[in-house]
């Protein structure tokens, strides 16, 4: 038995036989071209054929996977028709007087390197796209049939790396897992695998090669390991674990589409918290009824400078579209305290948790706030979007934030930019002041969502970053529960909903209490949705 370890790409366990996918390598050596025009014509015809294939694949992906994955093929078609890419091929053919295959291959190397030299991981991962489209072009030029996998029984698909178009062509019923010697947890194979719940391990190294074809193996997605030719004991151990995993999954999957209702018919909505638009897939896969907290600061923390309106718009739109009409609550920027982005140039603070953070920054630097609100409102034209302000302590803060939002709307209207007129503006209840003032705040906010992480820190005067506080941090402290109850009572007095989006929402010891308080929605990490639904459906409240 040999154990290879790699990068975690998608959780889950698989036992089976490896099917190593090997591409037919196109001949890309340079040959002198007798007729340069002919080579240029060949490229032109090949591009047209490749674009046709991509359109076909887009159709398949749209049907099998969804808009997002299908969009990749559009991007590929755009890459093929990109002028810089095409000019590079043309120039190599005309200047070096060589064959089309060589020019395409050289162009692929240049462009892939350009992406690999970029700083951000997701841009680096685009190198695989360039290679993918170029490979397609080469296959067309050489008359190779598109990459297809034929195997009777479900197998563990192994490869150096898999391109998006290769992945989409695979028959899902025949795939037990993906293992790749290259790639990363950011690669398309990893993303596809996660979206479809297929175990996957990337970057297993050169030991995973063609010689592994036909060998028995165990894939441990969570542990990012591949057990090659496992002994009996190992097989038994993992078969047992997989059995338990499958039973648990099936049990939870059976709850998809069912209401989160107690035995005595008390219903509560279960939403998911996400930190990037891609995570909406996990929310959907786990049957979240909406996004209760989209932490928008990821977009600021990943940037080297203030993210532009367009970039933000695309991210929010993506999340809104993915959720297909389900509510997506986008929390406005919550930078400050433990989440620092250097380019904000915030002054050093003695007590950053009590300093300029969240909405306080937005009201102090309205230009940043306006850019974000414009992006969110524009995205609201593409789904069911709501906005939520963090760190509210006073009524005037909510009023000022709403006033800026109104200005943004009228500006968009004047510019004839589409946005939805029905975007609820809610607040987080995460300061004791907001909970105490919740009667007044409720009259002017469209909804409440309790951020118990901060509400605990501010109520108990206990720094959430400080591990040493131990027993002094009681997340179920009566003071906290009283504030929650007060906020729920005040919300309902004027008929607005209240949810919980802090970690406490997933605390099963308190689910009953929350339902009794009349909390309308709990927003928890995506994998916690179905287990919580199971818990709710098995309990009685009264």
Q: Which residues of this protein are in contact with ligand PEP, per CB under 6 A?
A: 293, 295, 334, 430, 451-454, 501-502
Taking Cα atoms as reference points, which of 140, 150, 225, 157 lies closest to residue 192?
157
Interaction mask 482-511, Mg ion, x per CB under 5 A = ------------------------------
Answer yes or no whether residue 336 interacts with Mg ion by CB under 5 A. Answer: no
Q: How far is the CB of 454 from Mg ion (least distance, A)?
A: 4
Structure tokens at 51: 């674009």
Whether 101 and 138 have beta carbons less than 8 Å apart is answered as: yes
Q: How far is the CB of 507 from ligand PEP (least distance, A)?
A: 12
Q: Point out which span in 36-44, 128-136, 196-204, 453-461 binds Mg ion (CB under 5 A).
A: 453-461
Q: Describe the crossing of helices 67-81 and 126-141 by its angle, rounded to 10 degrees.
A: 60
Q: How far is the CB of 158 from ligand PEP (least distance, A)?
A: 39
302/403 with CB nearer ligand PEP: 302
Whether 195 and 278 have beta carbons less than 8 Å apart is answered as: no
Say which DSSP state 470 is in. Answer: G
d(CA 92, CA 100): 9
Structure tokens at 473: 């941090």
Task: Give the contacts of 435 (CB within 8 A, at least 6 positions apart).
Answer: 429, 450, 455, 483, 484, 486, 487
Whether 11 and 199 have beta carbons less than 8 Å apart is answered as: yes
Which partner in Mg ion, ligand PEP, none is near 8 (CB below 5 to 8 A by kind)? Answer: none
Q: How far is the CB of 459 from Mg ion (least distance, A)?
A: 13
Q: How far is the CB of 197 from Mg ion (least distance, A)?
A: 30
Say which DSSP state 383 is in. Answer: S
Which partner in Mg ion, ligand PEP, none is near 295 (CB below 5 to 8 A by kind)? Answer: ligand PEP
**Phi, psi of 156, rounded to the nearest 5 degrees:** -90, 115
Strands 498-500 and 448-450, how do they pair?
parallel
Which partner in ligand PEP, Mg ion, none is near 512 (CB below 5 to 8 A by kind)? Answer: none
Active site (catalytic) residues: 188, 501
Answer yes or no whether residue 297 interacts with Mg ion by CB under 5 A. Answer: no
Q: Hey, how many other C-beta atoms are within 10 angstroms of the C-beta on 151?
A: 14
Q: How far is the CB of 308 from ligand PEP (least distance, A)?
A: 23
30/298 with CB nearer ligand PEP: 298
454/507 with CB nearer Mg ion: 454
Beta bridge partners of 228: 2, 217
- Give CA separation, 54 vs 166, 222, 508, in Å: 11, 33, 47
Task: Give the contacts of 387 (CB within 8 A, at least 6 positions apart).
Answer: 329, 330, 331, 332, 373, 376, 405, 423, 424, 425, 426
Q: Point out which span in 38-46, 79-87, 101-109, 443-451 binds Mg ion (CB under 5 A).
A: 443-451
226/388 with CB nearer ligand PEP: 388
11/502 with CB nearer ligand PEP: 502
**Phi, psi of 79, rounded to the nearest 5 degrees:** -60, -40
Q: How far is the CB of 442 from Mg ion (least distance, A)?
A: 19
With vertex at residue 180, the alpha carbon angle to CA 137 and CA 275, rounded to the nearest 5 degrees, is: 95
Beta bridge partners of 200: 10, 178
Beta bridge partners of 87: none
Beta bridge partners of 267: 261
139/454 with CB nearer Mg ion: 454
Q: How far is the CB of 451 from ligand PEP (least distance, A)?
A: 3
187/332 with CB nearer ligand PEP: 332
Q: Site for Mg ion (CB under 5 A): which residue of 129, 279, 454, 520?
A: 454
69/454 with CB nearer Mg ion: 454
102/271 with CB nearer ligand PEP: 271
Q: How many residues bind Mg ion (CB under 5 A)?
A: 3
Contacts 24+ apart (CB under 8 A), 78-84: 79/129, 79/130, 79/133, 80/47, 80/50, 80/51, 80/54, 80/133, 80/137, 81/47, 81/51
| Sheet with 7-10: strands ordered across | 2-5, 225-228, 216-220, 13-20, 155-159, 175-180, 200-202, 7-10
Q: Site for Mg ion (CB under 5 A): which residue of 135, 451, 525, 526?
A: 451
Q: How far is the CB of 165 from ligand PEP (least distance, A)?
A: 38
Whether 329 and 386 have beta carbons less than 8 Å apart is answered as: yes
Which partner in Mg ion, ligand PEP, none is near 529 (CB below 5 to 8 A by kind)? Answer: none
Binding site for Mg ion (CB under 5 A): 430, 451, 454
């Amino acid at each position: 038995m040999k154990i290879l370890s790699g990068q975690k790409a998608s959780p889950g366990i698989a036992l089976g036989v490896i099917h190593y996918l090997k591409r037919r390598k196109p001949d890309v050596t340079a040959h002198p071209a007798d007729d340069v025009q002919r080579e240029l014509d060949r490229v032109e015809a090949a591009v047209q054929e490749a674009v046709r294939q991509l359109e076909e694949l887009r159709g398949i992906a749209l049907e099998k996977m969804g808009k997002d994955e299908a969009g990749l093929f559009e991007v590929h078609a755009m890459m093929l028709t990109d002028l810089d890419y095409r000019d590079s091929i043309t120039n190599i053919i005309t200047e070096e007087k060589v064959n089309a295959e060589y020019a395409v291959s050289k162009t692929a190397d240049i462009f892939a390197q350009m992406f690999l030299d970029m700083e951000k991981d997701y841009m680096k991962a685009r190198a695989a796209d360039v290679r993918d489209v170029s490979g397609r072009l080469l296959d067309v030029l050489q008359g190779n049939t598109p990459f297809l996998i034929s195997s009777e029984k479900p197998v563990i698909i192994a490869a150096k790396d898999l391109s998006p178009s290769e992945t989409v062509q695979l028959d899902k019923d025949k795939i037990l897992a993906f293992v790749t010697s290259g790639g990363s947890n950011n690669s398309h194979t990893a993303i596809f695998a996660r979206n479809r719940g297929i175990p996957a391990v990337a970057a297993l190294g050169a030991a995973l090669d063609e010689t592994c074809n036909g060998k028995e193996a165990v894939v441990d997605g969570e542990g990012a390991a591949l057990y090659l030719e496992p002994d009996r004991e190992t097989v038994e151990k993992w078969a047992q674990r997989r059995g338990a995993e499958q039973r648990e999954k099936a049990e939870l999957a059976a709850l998809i589409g069912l209401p989160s209702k107690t035995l005595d018919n008390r219903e509560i909505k279960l939403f998911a918290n996400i930190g990037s638009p891609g995570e909406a897939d996990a929310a959907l896969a786990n049957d979240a009824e909406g996004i209760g907290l989209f932490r928008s600061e990821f977009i600021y923390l990943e940037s080297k400078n203030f993210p532009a309106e367009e970039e933000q718009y695309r991210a929010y739109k993506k999340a809104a579209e993915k959720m297909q009409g389900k509510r997506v609550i986008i929390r406005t920027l919550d930078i400050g305290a433990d989440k620092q982005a250097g380019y904000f140039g915030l002054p050093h603070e003695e007590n950053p948790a009590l300093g300029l953070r969240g909405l306080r920054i937005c009201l102090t630097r309205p230009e940043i706030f306006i850019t974000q609100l414009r992006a969110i409102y524009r995205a609201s034209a593409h789904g069911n979007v709501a906005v939520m302000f963090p760190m509210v302590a006073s009524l005037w803060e909510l009023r000022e934030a709403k006033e800026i939002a109104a200005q943004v709307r009228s500006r968009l209207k004047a510019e004839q930019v589409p946005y939805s007129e029905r975007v609820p503006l809610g607040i987080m209840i995460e300061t004791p002041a907001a909970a105490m003032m919740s009667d007044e705040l409720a009259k002017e906010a469209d909804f409440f969502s309790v951020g118990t992480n901060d509400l605990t820190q501010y109520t108990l005067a206990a720094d959430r970053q400080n591990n040493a506080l131990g027993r002094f941090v009681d997340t179920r402290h009566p003071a906290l529960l009283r504030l929650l109850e007060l906020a729920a009572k005040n919300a309902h007095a004027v008929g607005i909903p209240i949810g919980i989006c802090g970690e406490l929402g997933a605390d099963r010891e308190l689910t009953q209490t929350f339902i009794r308080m009349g909390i309308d929605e709990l927003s928890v990490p995506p994998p916690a949705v179905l287990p919580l639904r199971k818990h709710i459906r098995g309990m009685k409240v009264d």
